[in-house]
Amino acid sequence: MQYKAYIFDLDGTLFRGEEVIPEAVATVAELHRRGAIIRYLTNNSSRTREFFVEKLRNMGYPAESDEVYTSSLGTAKYLQHENVRRVFVLAEQGLNDTLEEHGITICETDVEAVVVGLCRDFTYDLMNQAMQLIRGGARFVATNPDTTYPVENHKLIPGSGSIVAAVQACSETAPFVVGKPNPFLVELVLEEAGLRAEEALVVGDRDDTDIESGRRAGCPTFLVLTGVTKEPPAGQWHAHTMHELLG
């Protein structure tokens, strides 16, 4: 079945670290040739939109800046919508750059929210700062809940969700999660592309985040078994490669 649009996850779906998934490149390129609307949607908060455009192109995927959505971009848009302008951030430069590009000030005092994403320099002191600010009344916003993400050679490494869980435990506060499985990002893609939910197929490798976000947004979904989820739930459309999407 041909859909008007395809919303692809990145890590584990189109690539694993720097390892491209060949079948995925061929499938996306063919769908693009057929005139399908292509969008890329990642929970990864560590890099900018521009970084992913370059990475995708270098791997052979057709990609333009307005076709790529990250949890960093979604977080910036969410904070703007909530009129939050001053935040403490536990993350990497990609998130910092994205927030600042959207007029959000990163600081350590008088903050309205604590934003947590992937942070490879996470320390006890940073966790304590975040905890004190949240307990002091700041909102708690998480880019995504992914506890792991896939890299080369079918390995997994800790993801943003591991850090979010630590901050949640000590602050005793649940965050607002911007990324998948929240449908916020999928709905943002649909709105900006002028699409109805049933017109866009959500494709990903994680049933608990990628596929769940599509379900919650009302979109059809396709689970590819090239990343995290290896045992698909009953009734879920799935395959070991993406070739099935070409019909």
User: For 3-32, what is each residue's pLDDT tens digit?
Assistant: 999 999 999 999 988 999 989 999 999 999
Full-model pTM: 0.89
d(CA 140, CA 52) in angstroms, rounded, equals 26
Pairing of strands 238-239, 221-224: parallel
Give the active site residues.
Answer: 9, 11
The CA-based dihedral angle spanning residues 126, 43, 87, 98, taken in that order and rounded to the nearest 10 degrees:
120
Q: Output b/e per residue, 211-235; b: 16+ Cβ within 10 A.
A: bbbbbebebbbbbbebbbbeeeeee
pLDDT band at 228 (very low <50, low <70, confident <90, very high): confident
Q: How many residues does the chain have?
A: 247
pLDDT over threshold 90, residue 40: yes
User: For 94-151, what is each residue's pLDDT tens digit?
Assistant: 999 999 999 999 999 999 999 999 999 999 999 999 999 999 999 999 999 988 877 7
pLDDT band at 207 (very low <50, low <70, confident <90, very high): very high
Tell me how many degrees the CA angle 114-150-155 measures, rounded to the nearest 5: 125
Question: Which two structure tokens, joined as six digits, stand for 83?
Answer: 């009129």
